Structure 1
Amino acid sequence: MADQAPQNDAQAKERERQTAVAPLNTIGEEDIGAGAAKIDKWLRKLTNDYVTLNVLTTFAGSLPVIGNIMALIDAVWDLVEMVTKKAYSDVLQWVSLAINLLGVIPFPPATGAARMSLRPMLHLLKQEIAKSARNVVPNIGEAFIAVLVTHLNDTIAGTLDKFVDEALGQLDGFLQSCAKKVDGIADALIGALQVALGEKPVFATGVAAERNTYDPKTQSTWSRMMAAAAEAAKKSANYVAATTSHYALPDSAKAMIRDTVASLTDLKGMARRQIMRLGDEGLQYGIKWMIKILKDALLRRKGKHSANISANNGTQVESKKPGGEQGATSAQVPASGDPSCKNCTKAAAGGAISLATGCESFGHTDFVLGAPLPITWTRTYRSDLAAFDQGSLGARWITPYSTRVDVAKAAKGRRQGQMSLIYHGADGRSHAFPLLAVGQSHRNPIEEITLTRLSERLLAVDFGKPMPAGEAADWRETYELVDTIAAKAGSQGKQHFRLVAQHTNSGAAIGLRYDHVIAATGEQVLSDIVSRQGEAIIAHVGTQPDAQTGLIKALWELKDGRVVRQLAAYTHDGEGDLATAQDENGAGWHYSYSHHLVTRYTDRTGRGMNLQYDGTGADAKAVREWSDDGSFALTLEWDKNIRLTYLTDALGAETWYYYDVLGYTYRIIHPDKREEWFLRDDAKNITRHIHTDGTTDDYVYDANGNLKTHTRADGSSVHYAYDARHRVTGILDAEGGTWKRDYDANGNLTEEIDPLGHKTEYAYDPAGRPVRITDAKGGVKTLAYTPDGQLASHTDCSGKTTQWAYDGRGRLARITNALGQATRYRYTEAGETARAAMPADHANHPGQLEEIVHPDNTSEHFAHDAEGRLLAHTDALGRRTSYSYTRAGLVSQRTDAAGHTLKYHWDLLGRLRELHNENGSRYDFRYDPVGRLLEETGFDRKATQYRYDEASGVLAEVIEAGHSTRLEFDPLGRLSERQAGDQTERFAYDRNGRLVEATNAEARLQWFYDRAGNLVREHQHYLDHGHTAVWQHGYDELHQRVASVRPDGHITQWLTYGSGHVHGLLVDGQDILSFERDDLHREIGRDQGNGLHQGSKYDPAGRLLEQQISQTKPGAIEAVGIRRSYTYDKAGQLVAIGDSRRGNLSYRYDPVGRLLEAHSRLGRETFAFDPAGNIGDPSDLDANTQPAGRVTTRVAVRLGGDGRSMASRLMDNLLKDYAGTHYTWDERGNLVERTWNGEKTVFTWDGFNRMRSASTYGKTTSFSYD
């Protein structure tokens, strides 16, 4: 049974009203209408429907304003909120009012654009400062600065620094104009309210609405702008037409109106003083105070620019200014849908709940039948998919083979209330298209879906970019029009299009038949799914529906018209909800519901996720989610005014997500208060990604949405070219290298040409699978496939073939290498009930891999649960390692073959919190709210702290036992500098991200590359000696190094064959080594220039079996004949070496593979370990030592009950004493002293934990590093 839902106090108190500072192209007319409707609703509620927004318009008069309807609506609402809450002393309330008024005051006209730009900027600045605690100097984040720079680049000329200075200089004049404007707005509100009191008549004269509602050059009047607002309010989804009251206002209502009028009058009296004091630099949270905070932040970050070093162009800093103008509004309509994968960032939380709509959606795959176009039966549940309340799998479940196009009225979105073609996709999202006549098409450029009416009965749905006329899309679905049975017409419309075929452009297709007829309703339902390649049937699935309800009870695989096996089975409850689903291996998921809303679902091992909603309808939002043990708990809350979702995790950390009306994210405020922004074009392609550290990635697209240019955070750019079918034909990398591609008529890649002109060619079979690859040297690789499209063989360019074989279910059964050696795989079959009935930690679930038999006939065994988690592994010696898991499915314990346990402890977010080793010692981890590691404390209880830059969040310092290493990274996150004490190392990269320079006090290293990225030259400058060493390298057509010129002028060459296997080595043109290789390209013979030959043999498992060295050079003075053989146990551990010179050696291991004993003719050497694997002296010091020959045992050994050597536990994993040697370690874990028989060796280490010196016998060896 699930635990109770975790409670959270985040929503206990009412949140402050938020303002959406959003890219201007995300704020639509519906949002303006939402704000206007809110004012209209307040007026009507207060006056019992006597006064509406239209009435207010008549009192607005000719008060001059500029065209900024969002600012005007927000300013009016600020006044409403102030008089409603009596919040006259709240500085932030006055700040909000003044900021909004800045966007509407008309004078001076020359500053209109600047003031309109200043308004969203100040709202954003206000939000940024609000992140810091009171009486603490606010920290201005790098991402915030980047957003402001982008915003200003799109609106006015000049830099951010200049704009801030001008704003400070003109602020007092702006505020005076704002104070005057308050009087006019308040008077209009008072006049409108007096209508309800009968003190003023309603003017009948209409006012023309302003059409330019967002234009700094438009000089308008308040009445015209409010008329535009009234029009927008009537279009709002939340607008309810006012009805004139025929009854007199009750005295209580009149009293409330008079109180509001009095409050507005009082507010007029104090407005000037309150607004003007916002220009006082000493007033905390005042406007001037905030701008000064921003100015100081800009001064601190001046000069912080990074540049890359280009091997071709030297040092450059680039500045790009893509679009990103911001607007601000305090009222928006809710999101009407969820985004596609174009969102790029997280669009859903947990298992997963949509951050935009609160819809719960997840998918489970019951089976996959292999074919060139496989049949993948993935069920997707979506809580708002009410159109599938009578779906064939149960309410609100959909598959790729039950997608549908309904002819019905759209319930939401831009086509709300209009008859539409509503496409319900496999992901559960629905998209409304206009009705189409035969031959007509309509394309959704955001979703990249095109509907075409082929005939009265047929509809095509094409996916992807628009194709040239007459060319087929890469993926097409065909639907046929059928009548809906009466029982389903309410949710599906009287007619709908059902899926009949899926097509690729390679000839593969899936067809669907509807031959089953439900006797109770007469409905034709899905009967067959057939995957074909050309005319050949490759895979066939048949359905078994319930005779009364039509719900699918089971699916079966068919071959040659015969039923082969059951693929899935389902049971449903009395409400038509899917209760259990069984996959092809007999494992089951379980589901619980309330009003068709899933409230709990389990994986195939019974581990569950639980959900809570805020309602019972299809539009209900999932507001909580938690796993059975309380981990991964989430709480979601939607802002009441704007499109903003507050996501609180199980540890109380809160993330804010802002999104547009289609659900696409544009802003994220992470739990550490750092921000991330996504600016988009109208097709929702990301044009600029502002990272939390303030760096940016910019993207430019062509008219079809193909990425043309990606400008990365370091200013480097990659450019792309496309053909008419939108396939990449050229890439120009950041260093000027050109990579070319070409395709055949079916869109298959046929050749690639690198910047050096080397060409790789590809050929395909009729199914579009690669069958031949010709490399730039002319080498040919060939591939072959099984009928269902799986790889059957690969022949390399040396003619060596590897083969793969599969069982009847398409699972890998055997791999046969080029020597004919086979590795076999065996799976537990569904009929093996005896195994499945064993205890959970011993049983391998049916369908999971159970055994691997290696070419030497040794085998490994595995036990998995139904989700594929490894429960146990048993090697060929019968040694077993087992694993346990938490209720959330995370590994909790590993028990090795010796019975020792490693334990894992996780926090509620699934992050490793503690690790307890086999000795019982603990390793701790501590994280910040966004998951960055703050501290780790080792088994030795020594702590390492990680500190991050306050403005960017980038790792800045690592403190290890009190020693600090300071780090700097370039804009792409690559290490550019590190400092430890007086040591500094610097690194630089070219514009393709390759390391080109590294410097420290001892050396300066440089690397140079060709256009294809091969290292062709390296310079090693040793500063102490004033010496420079130069290496040069040459490559073949496959970019493999074949020659190097050393600093002394000598040339080393490698002779290769095939795909790069070395068969010879030359120095200055003279043969030094030649190699002979077997069919697996392993070395089996080596001939040296001095006449020595070394031969090698391998066992079937690929382990070295024998080595022989002999003299092959004629006239050798002394014959050479050396042989060494190797013997292994069944687990692959080396147990014996037979050496023709040194005699035999043997080895013995403990159950976890640690060496216990080594035997040679020189003696016997034994070893002991503690449970965690630390070598050490045995815990029983009285144990017998066993001298053998001239060498005594190194360690006195105590044998455990099972014959294992035992050592004392090292709780901190640091060896102190071993075999008469004493070790001393510093606080960072570096060895500083080693003492043996009274002789000391002293080691010193530099700040980067590298050995600096070793002193022994009075002599010191020093080390330096390049």
Structure 2
Amino acid sequence: MFAAARVGDDIGHSAALAGMVAGTLVGGFIAAAGGLAAGALLFTGLGASCLGVGVLLVGLSVAVGWLTGELATTARDTLAEGGADSMTQQGVITTGSPNVFINGRPAAVASASLVSCQEDGAQHLTEGASRVLINGLPAGRRGDRTTCGATVMTGSPNVLIGGASEQTLPVQAEVPDELYKASDLTLLFAGLLGGGGGAGGEAGALGSLLSKLPGINKLARIACRAGQLLTSVAAVGIIARPVDIISGQKFLCGDDELDFTLPSRLPVRWQRCWRSGNPGDSVLGRGWSLFWETSLEHYGDGLVWRAPSGDYISFPMVPEGRRTFCEAEKRWLEHHQDDTWSVYDISGERWHYQPLQACSPSLPLRLTGPCGNAILFEWNPDRTLHALTDSAGKRVMCRYQDGRLESAWLDDEICLVSYAYDTEGQLVTVTGRGGSVRRRFSWQDGLMSAHEDANGLLSEYRWQTIAGLPRVVAFRHSGGEQLTLKYDFDRGTRQATRDDDAQAHWLTDDDDNVASHTDFDGRRTAFVYRDGELTDVILPGGAIRRSVWDRYGRLTQETDPEGRTTTYHWYRQTDGLTRIVYPDQTTSQAAYDLRGRLECETDPCGYRTTYHYPDDDDPLADSVTNALGGVVQLQWNHQGLLTQRTDCTGSVTRFEYDRFGQLVRSEDAEGHITRREWNAAGQLSSVIHPDGSRESLLWNTRGQLTGWRDPLESEVRQAYNVLGLPVSLTDRTGHTRRWHYDPRGNLLCLENGNGAEYRFNYDATGHLLSEIRPDGTSRHMQWDERGFLTALEERGSPAADGGSGLRWQQFGYDDSGLLTARTTRDAGYHYRRNHRGQLTGVLRTPTAEGMVRGIDEDAVQFTYDAAGKLLCERGVNGELHYVCDAPGNLTALTLPGGQRLAWLHYGSGHVSAVRFNQQTVSEFTRDRLHRETGRSQGVRTQHREYDNLGRRSLQRSGLSADVTLPEQAILARLYRYTGRGELAGVSDTLRGEIQ
């Protein structure tokens, strides 16, 4: 019999950690000794091989190395098991049964009860009594486990529950994942320290794959952290479309390398990646990796995973039924009971691999999502991909030539992408669906010397071997920008010199992280790291923006430079947010089901939105219920695309798609049908409106929209530069506007098509300094070292006497960038804010000149509810009070005199009536599209009609039928439109015809 578990009872992890450390040390000594012995035998064998006995000695060296490796592993595992006997409290059970209580506390139940673990965050209780159910789930007891492998340590003193344990959810390995990895690497290095022996236990050391060069996954995380902390990626060293200036690597893995996407509940994203520091080969050539070129294989005494990006990640060997976590790469490796393997992260997408083979990598069987939707892979005998089938049943087949991927075809009928190569097998062109070339590449000595994007922008690179590796030392593109890069690895500095001689500098720490960055304008930003994560950014001026990340790479806390802190709580080991605590301590919350699907959201005011799913395997909700109880019904097709939406009033909108997921037909709630046509390249070519009129879109070979043709065949044409920016726009009357840019894409001049122009000037980092307008007026800006606008001067056009009007403003900010003060010639304005940064008050203080002009001191205060909606506005003239419903619609406004305006809503926020105090002012009727079709105001009514393009065609007003007055004549107005949708005329019963 076991004590019943309740909310508040302790959970704990065993001392397997201490056992593992002890095992690592003992195993390391054994491996080191074995390495020395094996090394001696190996060298002796090599020296004696000419005598015919060396082969035996070399063989004995291999055997000794293997045996010592096995003994070391056994020693480690034995001590680890011994440490599992003791427990350390790591958290408590936090939720339980809503209606069953034990000793006055909610009873804990498997699956439904949450626990809070100091090591692993929020987890579920996963075991309970097989024969005692509470709310239909096994009752939790002392000794039952959680999903993170912790055990319930305490329970009821007088309620006991017997029977065997039943497991309802998977359990993580008890020994910490990072310790498994640290242990195995310790054994590996201990064997290597013994000399060249130990080939059987440690052969093929992982050292060749543990390069100091960051992989694409790490570079992506660096860019992500910079974005989260509102810092440019250039500040952390990613420049030159793109080059990592810290390591000197050139890499590609952005949207330009996304060749196509097939929509489904688990979409296929055909992504290419290339990195100059990647030694691996690919069906596209050296350094490349397609997303499906991933594998898992033995290497030494551990495993190596080739990620979809082409990065190589080392894992230890994991026993069946266990998993381990690579903190550096934020990935788990799990060894399943059927001897298959999987690798996954907090997103829940999981790569499944065949059982490991001794002599070849294990290839992926499938890629699955959290709800089980899968992409299935089929392989050729030469271990290249034959075909994949997505969760919508669409099949992509691959064709090869001379060992290189030639093309990928949808259902073996339509070419989605094709590839061409040079004589050395290097990729030179990527051609998309429809025949447009999306990418071009040039190579020199196996390194990428140039690439051209779909817009025609040619980026060129020059390489030089520095510190034993080729690194980019110069960059330029056909738009005019140039950079010269310099590296000083001894001093930890990098430098980029621009074509205008401006310089930027980077200083690195001992781990090759960017410690500080000096921008081209001289402003300096510094960075602080903890546990390998970028946590603090010291901004120009000294203010600090802080963040805290957990071991899974999730943001748990961020603090702005003014000390306003927001904290984030996550659902188990997923990317689902369960709670956000704002700086004023208000919270928003979310709940998820066991598959990680969002079940409900609760805003800071307590209003809840819930989501319902049709079955356990569908990640798409079939209904959403808002805080007022209104239900929106949703239907999806096999591609995971919305086909029907029924709003809470019963209005239905329908959608249809082609095989590529492109919208081809939509029907609104009034039955109006709009059709769309697409060209072979997947670009929208025509829109056919419900009245049969057609708009056409014209595209060039680079995939840019170059023209639009209206239903009357008039055209608007547009041209672009190599940066993809518009350079001219010619309207249907022949007037042309033109734009001119500098090499960095800053707008220098705008010609308005009438012979006049706007001119702009910038500082070294792109801040606007001046604007001169066609009428001679100008605007001049000043910026402080933090990058905030501090002064704006506006000058009028010169007068006949040579003078001109002048208006100026000065601005002040807090360190987070929120406006705190504004000063003009007439008055100063001071802005106060609450803990969430919302404006709570404005104080106006007139200057002496302002007082002469009659400006008085004034103040306005604002208050908000927990969700940030405005509740009250107070000023010298009284107060305004606002009331909003759960979706945020204004329902009442109380004026300073006490009068009250009220709005009545239906559905999701459409106004049905307006009242003033107790009197109805207007009532509204609406069609199924919720457009106003009628309103009443006293005895007068108004009626509106619309054409099938949604334009107002008729507006008629008159008096109620029971009123007989001379004024009761009906007033009507008819609207007419041209084929272009422009208003052509109005027929008015009062004013007559208006053209």
Aligned to 1:1110: 958
Aligned to 1:1174: none
Q: Check 1:1084–1:794 CA distance in 2 against 1; reply closer, same or farther (3 A cut).
A: same
Q: Does 1:505 align with 2:505?
A: no
For residue 132 of structure 2, what is the aligned residue in structure 1? none
CA distance in 2, matches of 1:337, 1:683: 14
TM superposition shift of 1:1133: 0.7
Cα distance between partner residues in 2 of 1:511 and 1:482: 19
**Alignment partner of 1:448 out of 319, 330, 333:** 330
- Cα shift readout 1:1077-1125 (whole Å, capped 9, x = no counterpart): 0011000000112x11100001111111000011115233232311100
Question: Which residue in the other structure is 2:129 paired with?
Answer: none
What amino acid is the match of 1:620? P
Q: Counterpart of 2:869? A: 1014
Letter in 2 for 1:527: H
Match of 2:851 in 1: none
* Offset at residue 706 of structure 1 (A): 4.0
Equivalent residue in structure 2 for 1:383, among 273, 276, 286: 276
**Which of residues 798, 808, 811 in structure 2 aligns to 1:964?**
808
Q: TM-score, normalised by structure 1?
A: 0.57
Counterpart Cα distance in 2 of 1:876 and 1:1112: 41
Asked whether the equivalents of residues 370 and 539 of structure 1 are also in contact (C-alpha less than 8 Å), the reply is no
- The alpha-carbon distance between structure 1 residues 483 and 731, as it changes in their structure 2 partners (threshold 3 A), is closer
**Cα gap change, 1:509/1:394 in structure 2, threshold over 3 Å: closer, same or farther?**
same
Which structure 2 residues correspond to residues 24-173 of structure 1 after superposition, within 5 A?
none
Q: 1:386 corresponds to which letter in structure 2?
A: P
Structure 2 partner of 1:842: none
User: Residues 722 and 1109 of structure 1: is their aligned pair in 2 closer, same or farther, counting only changes over 3 Å?
Assistant: same
Contact 1:335 1:660 in 2 (8 A): no
Matched, 1:818 2:662: no
Q: Is the 8 A contact 2:280 2:310 kept in 1?
A: no
Q: Which residue of 2 aligns with 1:999?
A: 843
Secondary structure of residue in 2 paired with 1:773: strand
After superposition, residues 246-257 of structure 1 pair within 5 angstroms as none
- Tell me which of 553, 558, 562 is aligned to 1:714: 562
Aligned to 2:186: none
SS at 1:496 equivalent: coil
Considering fraction of residues, name the structure with more helix.
1
Quote how far apart the aligned CAs of 1:527 are: 0.5
1:437, distance to aligned residue in structure 2 (A): 5.5
Tell me if structure 2 keeps the 8 A contact 1:475–1:502: yes
Given the alignment of the two structures, is residue 421 of structure 1 paired with residue 300 of structure 2, yes or no? no
- What are the within-5 Å matches in structure 2 for residues 817-966 of structure 1? 817-829=668-680, 846-949=681-784, 951-961=785-795, 963-966=807-810
> Is residue 333–residue 342 contact of structure 2 (8 Å, CA) maintained in 1?
yes
From 807, 832, 835, the counterpart of 1:988: 832
TM-superposition CA deviations, 1:238-257 (whole Å, max 9, x none): xxxxxxxxxxxxxxxxxxxx
1:346-372 Cα distance to aligned partner (Å, 9 max, x none): 142122111222221124222222211
| Residue 1101, structure 1, aligned to residue 949, structure 2 | yes
Distance apart, 1:792 and its partner CA:
0.8
In the alignment, the residues of structure 2 paired with residue 530 and residue 810 of structure 1 have an alpha-carbon distance, to the nearest angstrom, of: 16
Structure 1 residue 701, shift from structure 2 partner: 4.3
Q: Distance in 2 between matches of 1:651 and 1:500?
A: 53
Structure 1 position 991, deviation (Å): 1.9
Q: Secondary structure at the match of 1:739?
A: strand
Computing the radius of gyration from Cα coordinates, the structure with the larger value is 1
Q: What residue in structure 2 maps to residue 638 of structure 1?
A: 487
SS at match of 1:524: coil
Distance 1:724 1:923, change over 3 A: same
- Does structure 1 residue 594 correspond to structure 2 residue 444? yes
> 1:1006-1033 deviations in whole A, cap 9, x for unaligned?
1111112221111122xxxxxx311112
Note if contact 1:860-1:874 (Cα within 8 Å) is conserved in structure 2. yes
Q: Distance in 2 between matches of 1:716 and 1:776?
A: 29
Q: 1:915 to 1:1123 in 2, by over 3 A?
A: same
Asked whether the equivalents of residues 297 and 356 of structure 2 are also in contact (C-alpha less than 8 Å), the reply is no
Q: Matched residue of 2:280: which SS? A: helix
The CA deviation at 1:909 is: 0.9
Look up the match of 2:936. Answer: 1087
1:460 aligns with 2:342: yes
Q: 1:395 touches 1:578 (CA, 8 Å); kept in 2?
A: no
Q: Secondary structure at the match of 1:770?
A: coil
CA distance in 2, matches of 1:657, 1:752: 43
What is the distance in 1 between the residues matched to 2:430 and 2:562? 50
Q: Equivalent residue for 1:480?
A: 354
TM-superposed deviation, 1:618: 10
Mapped partners of 2:930, 2:662: distance in 1: 28
What residue number does 1:793 align with?
A: 644
Structure 1 position 1031 matched with structure 2 position 875: no
Counterpart CA distance in 1 for 2:378 and 2:466 is: 35
RMSD: 2.6
- Aligned mates of 1:724, 1:570 — CA distance in 2: 42
Return 452-461 or 649-658, whichever deviates more.
452-461
Q: Which position in structure 2 is the counterpart of 1:556? A: 409
Report the count of equivalent residues.
747
Instruction: For 2:963 and 2:793, locate their aligned partners in 1 and report how far apart those are by CA, in whole Å.
Output: 65
Structure 1 segment 1087-1166 matched on structure 2, within 5 A: 1087-1089=936-938, 1091-1112=939-960, 1114-1118=962-966, 1119-1146=968-995
Match of 2:520 among 654, 662, 671: 671
Look up the equivalent residue of 1:969 and give its one-letter code: Y
The amino acid across from 2:280 in the alignment is: A
| Paired residue type of 2:518 | I
Aligned 8 A contact 1:336 1:662 in 2: no
In structure 2, C-alpha distance between the alignment counterparts of 1:847 and 1:610, rounded to whole Å: 30
Change (3 A) 1:642 1:617: closer
CA distance change for structure 1 residues 382 and 704 in 2, over 3 Å: closer, same or farther? Answer: closer
Equivalent residues in 2 for 1:703-742, closer than 5 Å? 706-726=554-574, 727-742=576-591
Mapped pair 1:1064 → 2:913:
yes
Q: Relative to structure 1, is the Cα distance of residues 1014 and 851 closer, same or farther in structure 2, using a 3 angstrom cutoff?
A: same
Cα distance in structure 1, aligned partners of 2:246 and 2:337: 37
1:527 partnered with 2:386: yes
Q: Which residue of 761, 771, 778 corresponds with 2:622? A: 771
Q: How far apart in 2 are the matches of 1:657 and 1:424?
A: 31
Corresponding letter in the other structure for 1:980: T
SS at match of 1:1030: strand
In 1, Cα distance between equivalents of 2:907 and 2:322 = 55
Identify the structure with the greater strand proportion.
2
- Closer, same or farther in 2 for the Cα pair 1:725/1:455, shift >3 Å? closer
Equivalent of 2:292 in 371, 390, 401: 401
Are 2:660 and 1:805 equivalent residues in the alignment? no
Distance (whole Å) between structure 2 residues aligned to residue 592 and residue 455 of structure 1: 48
* Residue identity opposite 2:259 in structure 1: D
The DSSP-based 3-state class of the residue aligned with 2:950 is coil
Q: How does 1:1174-1253 map to 2 (within 5 A)?
A: none
Distance 1:865 1:716, change over 3 A: same
Q: Helix, strand or coil for the counterpart of 2:221? A: helix
Which secondary structure state, in structure 2, belongs to the residue aligned with residue 342 of structure 1? Answer: helix
What CA deviation, in whole Å up to 9, does each residue of 1:458-481 have, x standing for no partner? 4321213xxxxxxxx712112336
Change (3 A) 1:936 1:997: same
Identity, in percent, stands at 26
Report the AA paired with residue 1111 of structure 1.
L
Query: Residues 335 and 661 of structure 1 are in contact (CA less than 8 Å); yes or no, is this contact kept in structure 2?
Result: no
Change (3 A) 1:441 1:683: farther
Structure 1, residues 895-919: CA drift from partner, whole Å, max 9, x if none? Answer: 2222222111111111111112213
1:342 paired residue among 221, 225, 229: 221
